[in-house]
Structures are given as structure tokens and as C-alpha cells.
């Protein structure tokens, strides 16, 4: 999804063209199982327009992607789109596949560093795993995201699915696979991202 929003320029980089917000994510950002235009990235596009913030949203999310996949894809995306902000929303599939936490952490750090070196601000979207993964693993996995954010001086959304996965009636906001949120949940996902992203777009 690429959409240019006609509004007042934002910062020096927007003098010639609107700044790009690049979203690098997995199925949670790629509208898996829901109608096109119903996901939180599409809602972000409309939110920027409503707020009269000139920005072009590029959704580079791929269902099933891992931090390794994102790390491999990011250099070309940075060259092509020259984003002002990169939202990294990866890591959930690493946990689902049982990949080593140190690898996930290294990949997230490398992506944040590469984006920063390309002149982009970075927003890292944290994830958590269900309780059946075990309390110790869950705590260590959740801790990866703030650790990387601190080390790379990136902005952080502590839990992308806050207000969705942690609700008493959470099952009602997930598709039959109990992994992917329904369209009704995506406004809450955007509500988690927006406050931190808005700061980066000032």
C-alpha cells in the first residue's frame, strides 16, 4: 500500500515530497484474513490524512515474516523508499517457530541500526507470547524489545496487541486460528502505535 496524502509539509525533508513511513511487519500488519483496507496500517494512512499530516505510508509487511526475513529485506527498502520513519513490527513468528531469543534480538538491533544509519527514526513494536509458552520464556521474549529500543535509542510500543490479546474477552477479537486479530481489533492496534509515531512525525 502506498498513498500520498496532500497536506501541509512536515519538516525539511518534506520540502520536495512527503516523508515516508515504512512499516516492516508480518501478518499482523499485512491484513491477514481481513478485508483490504481494514488493517491498522491502512487505518494509519487515514489517520494521517485526518490529522493533516503530510506523509506517505509504505506497507512492506509480509505474512509469516521473521526478524531474519525483515533484516534481509530492509536494505533494499531503505534504498528504494528513503523513509523518515521505520516501524519495525516483527518478532512474533520468531517465537512461534521457537527461534533463539538472542537471534531475534540481534536481528531487531541490526534493523534499527540500519534504519538509523539511513537517516530514519525508528519505532519498535513489541510483542508478547501466550502463557502456554511458559512464564520464564514469555518474560525473556517480551524483554527483548525494550532492551533493543534502549540500546538503539528507538521509540517503543511495549505491546502491539495491548487492549486486544490481554482483554478478558480476547477470543472475540481473534480469528478462528486464535493468532490473527479480526478487523474489529485493528483500531486498538493503531491506538497503541499512534501516540509514539505521532511524536516521531513532529
Task: Return the active site residues.
Answer: 27, 177, 180
C-alpha cell at 43: 487505518
C-alpha cell at 188: 486498538
Tracing cell 477470543 back to the chain, one arrives at 171
The CA-based angle 49-23-77, given to 5 degrees, is: 115
Cβ neighbours, 10 Å, residue 102:
9
Tracing cell 497536506 back to the chain, one arrives at 7
Angle of the 186-200 helix axis to the 40-50 helix axis, nearest 10: 50
Amino acid at each position: 500500500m502506498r498513498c500520498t496524502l496532500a497536506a501541509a509539509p512536515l519538516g525539511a525533508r518534506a520540502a520536495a515530497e512527503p516523508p515516508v513511513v515504512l512499516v516492516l511487519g508480518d501478518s499482523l500488519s499485512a491484513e491477514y484474513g481481513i478485508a483490504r483496507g481494514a488493517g491498522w496500517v491502512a487505518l494509519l494512512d487515514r489517520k494521517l490524512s485526518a490529522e493533516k499530516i503530510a506523509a506517505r505510508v509504505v506497507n512492506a509487511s509480509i505474512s509469516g515474516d521473521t526478524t531474519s526475513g525483515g533484516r534481509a529485506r530492509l536494505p533494499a527498502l531503505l534504498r528504494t523508499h528513503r523513509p523518515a520513519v521505520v516501524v519495525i513490527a516483527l518478532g512474533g513468528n520468531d517465537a512461534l517457530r521457537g527461534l533463539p531469543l538472542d537471534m531475534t534480538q540481534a536481528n531487531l538491533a541490526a534493523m534499527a541500526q540500519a534504519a538509523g544509519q539511513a537517516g530514519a527514526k525508528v519505532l519498535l513494536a513489541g510483542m508478547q507470547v501466550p502463557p502456554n509458552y511458559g512464564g520464564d520464556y514469555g518474560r525473556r521474549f517480551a524483554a527483548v524489545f525494550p532492551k533493543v529500543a534502549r540500546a538503539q535509542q528507538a521509540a517503543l510500543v511495549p505491546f502491539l496487541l495491548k487492549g486486544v490479546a490481554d482483554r478478558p474477552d480476547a477470543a472475540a477479537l481473534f480469528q478462528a486460528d486464535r493468532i490473527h486479530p479480526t478487523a474489529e481489533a485493528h483500531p486498538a492496534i493503531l491506538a497503541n502505535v499512534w501516540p509514539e509515531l505521532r511524536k516521531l512525525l513532529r
